[in-house]
Chain A
Amino acid sequence: MSTSTLYNVRFAGMATCVPKTTLSNLTDCNPQLRSQRERLVRNIGIEFRRINQPWQCFSDLAFDAAEKLLESLDWERQEIDALIVVTQSPDYLAPATAIILQDRLGLSTSTIAFDVNLGCSGYPFGLHLLGAMIAAGGVKKGLLLVGDKSATVDGTLFSDAGTATALEFSEQAPPMFFDLNSDGSGFRAILLPVGGGREPVNISHLVPFRRNEHDEWRSSAALILDGPAVLSFSTTTVPPAVCKLLEYAQVPMHEVDYFVFHQANRMINETIRKRLGLPEEKVPSTLRDFGNTSGASLPVTMTVRLRESLEAKANRVLLSGFGIGLSWGTCLVDIEGACFPALVES
């Protein structure tokens, strides 16, 4: 399928919630690591990250974002026909977090609610999935909740966030264009190896280890990330995907107001921007202040950097998510008159 168009789907609003607790990659670490960290921050572009309280789940952030959005939109909860949660940080392995949130948010039991297991690429996929349900005619209003709890104190890349997006049926809505792709041959590039059916958790996974006294403590249950493979995948896949979608939509690059890319790290994002020849002012970034917030990074960046512009006038926005899977999705959305409440911190 890859490319597709959705009609009669209006982008009604978006809200983002991040934890209050901020970690600095420069100062919240062993002082002996300061010099290494300065070099790291210079290159990956991430200085601050947000981290959940130990008791806080991704769904708690998504819940607060959804509450804020529903309140701002003044939507009746009984009107919401679908609730899709895109996360790799569910409350439980089962049941789906979306079903638990249906009840917490006070939505009707006639709401369609389910989870989608996608990470950094997830936002365009979620938008397409909910949008397709609305375009088909049965669902009139729906919520898409996207994000993850992936920050760790010792990590330097990931940051926590939960987001809510509202879509509704409208015959006046401009078309939305999508290009969605998957390549499982690269699944080992970003892998959480332990805890699933292939390798269930056992006690040995819980024993931390380090290679030498200067190394940071690690866990064999932690995420494995093949940096060079991810860099090569992102910088070779994303620029042609953007060009392909614009060609499909017959929209010249200069007619796009903003290009919002998944906030991976500065090396990846700057390479993509330069390959596409895009000016910095059209490519907003939240890497320095919010790090890599997985699938939430597109909404985080739209809320933090673009909300005033998005509320003030009509904008054509290209969104690009890419990462774990491997998986990458691009969409082109015209946004006008949508509701963008200020960033929520909880």
Chain B
Amino acid sequence: MKAQRFIENFLMATDFQKPVEVTLDSEIRNLPEWDSLAALGVIVMFNTEYNQVIDGNHIHNAVTVNDLFLLLA
């Protein structure tokens, strides 16, 4: 449930133009529209939805969506 909610928030935060299926195993850099704007959206999502501060290094070090999910305290 928590993971599903995280993926929904991830999709809202990244605001991709075309629908894309995302699972915890999805590799973020292989998502067709992943870009710097999407990365900013994810940082904001952590801050506003999860009250947690992450920075560009966290995004840089993450390979899959699950790597981001595991950052949740």
Contacts and interface: CB of A to CB of B under 8 A. Distances in A.
> Chain A interface residue count: which class?
20 to 34
A229 B59 CA distance: 11
A206 interface: no
B55 A35 contact: no
Interface in A218-274: 226-229, 231-232, 235-236, 267, 270-271, 274
A122 B36 CA distance: 27
A232 B48 contact: no
Contacts of A35: 17
Given A227-B36, A232-B43, A271-B47, A42 B15 contact: yes
A232 B39 contact: no
A275 interface: yes
Nearest to A233: B55
A271 B48 contact: yes
A256 to B, nearest CB: 22
A271 B40 CA distance: 11
What secondary structure prevails in chain B residues at the interface with A? helix
B13 to A, nearest CB: 9
B44 A267 contact: yes
Contacts of A267: 40-41, 44
Contacts of B55: 228-229, 232
B53 A43 contact: no
Contacts of A36: 17
B17 A235 contact: no
Contacts of A235: 44, 47, 53
Interface of B: 15, 17, 36-37, 39-41, 43-44, 47-48, 53-56, 59
